[in-house]
Amino acid sequence: MKRKEFLKLAAFGSLSPGLLLTSCTEKKQQDSAGSKKTYTCPMHPQIVQDKPGTCPICGMDLVIFDKSSTNASITLSESQQILANITTVLAGSGNFSNSKRLNGRLAVNPDRTAVISSRTAGRVETLYVKQTGVTVKKGDPIYKIYSEQLSALQQEYLLASAQAQQFPTDNRFVSIEKAARQKLRLYDQSDADMDLLADRKKQDPYVTYRSPINGTVSELSINEGQYVAEGSPVMRLENYSSLWVEADVYPAEAASIRKGQKVQVQVSGLEGMSQPMAIDFITPAIQSGSQLMQLRGTISNPDNRWQPGLQANILLPTSSQKAAMTLPVDAVIRDAKGAHVWIQTKPGTFVARNVTIGMQNADQVEIIEGISKDEIVVVTGAYLLYSEYVLKKGADPMALHQH
């Protein structure tokens, strides 16, 4: 009996070192497997390797991720959401119309422009507006001129007026007075100016000219003390209460546009203030040196909030309105695998969702399938959520969550 126990102990003793060695080897392998790290690119999750480095696509440093994670959601604190500018909207249906965006610009409306020229030859005695950019009102004095020619016409009128008063029954003298008054009108003298001249009975070679419109001086062609000829340009006044909107179109696009068609105008920087406009004119010929035609319309400019030269977008409807589920364009992320959005399932928790999109215009995209009414969808910050998910988990969010 003792012999058998001795043999068992001897056999166990001879096997123990082998068992211990095997156990240690397996533990080392497990530790080695457990300590092995995986790296990926935050922007290109398809790049995966078992050592640090840089992304061969974008050059960013690779980050560690846990490839065993199966959680398709990502959670952000309130401060993280503020930093990432995460905003949401409640999904719902509304009217949707597809439209084409045309590049345009604001221009001065010639119908609200006045070019002032000298009605008579003479010397500019006083220039009341000495620089461009100055705003004047209708009736404001703009320049005073000394004119011997106008003084002679005034003297002629005074003589004709005196004769007409002395011989009121003589139609010949009455006609001469009317002709003299008409000559002064041609030199921009008003009836009030001529009545004042008749009361004073003395000609005045200094004549003040006033602004014919409300406007801004855009061009000044004379200086104080300068001699000008009859018809010489003095200044140009532009009124910006309404502006032209010009847009370039290709001939193929112009075929579907008609005069009088209603469009929307968005000025760069003020996209939230769309202005309705009717197309007034379409050029019948292609512009020289290009393959473009031009359309034009007029919009009101209350308080002169817009200036000529600003860029503008013309939204040209290409289909009628229809009821549809829509989201802002920035809410939808597109890649080679399709389109997806981020849904807020509870405060601070977001999950990616595949969607099927339909028509799209400059601001909205139609959602055919993928989300339900009253779900909370991320509008701004969707790309940051995508990057944060990849950075934390090293995987494409759509690889773990398919709808």
Q: Where are the domains of the chain?
A: 35-64, 73-97+322-400, 99-110+240-317, 115-238
pLDDT of residue 50: 81
Q: Which residues of 225-259 are buried (b: 16+ CB within 10 A; e: fewer)?
A: eeebeeeeebbbbbbbeebbbbbbbeeebbeebee
Instruction: Enter the CATH code of domain 73-97+322-400.
Output: 2.40.420.20
For residue 65, the model assigns a pLDDT of 65
Looking at residue 29, its pLDDT comes to 45
CA 296 to centroid of chain Cα atoms: 18
Spatial distance between the Cα atoms of 4 and 256, rounded to a whole number of angstroms: 106
The answer to whether residues 147 and 121 touch, using CB atoms and an 8 Å cutoff, is yes
Domain 115-238 -> CATH class: mainly beta
Residue 172 CA to residue 270 CA, distance in Å, equals 66
pLDDT for 7 equals 46
How far apart CA 264 and CA 257 sit, in angstroms, is 14
Cβ neighbour number for residue 330 with a 10 Å cutoff: 15
Rounded distance, CA 125 to CA 204, Å? Answer: 13
pLDDT at residue 163 in the model: 85
Q: Are 38 and 394 in contact (CB under 8 A)?
A: yes
CATH of domain 99-110+240-317: 2.40.30.170
Averages of pLDDT over runs of 10 residues in the chain (403 residues) are 49 46 45 60 72 84 64 76 84 68 90 90 92 92 88 86 84 86 81 81 84 93 92 93 91 83 82 81 84 90 88 78 75 80 87 83 78 86 76 62 47
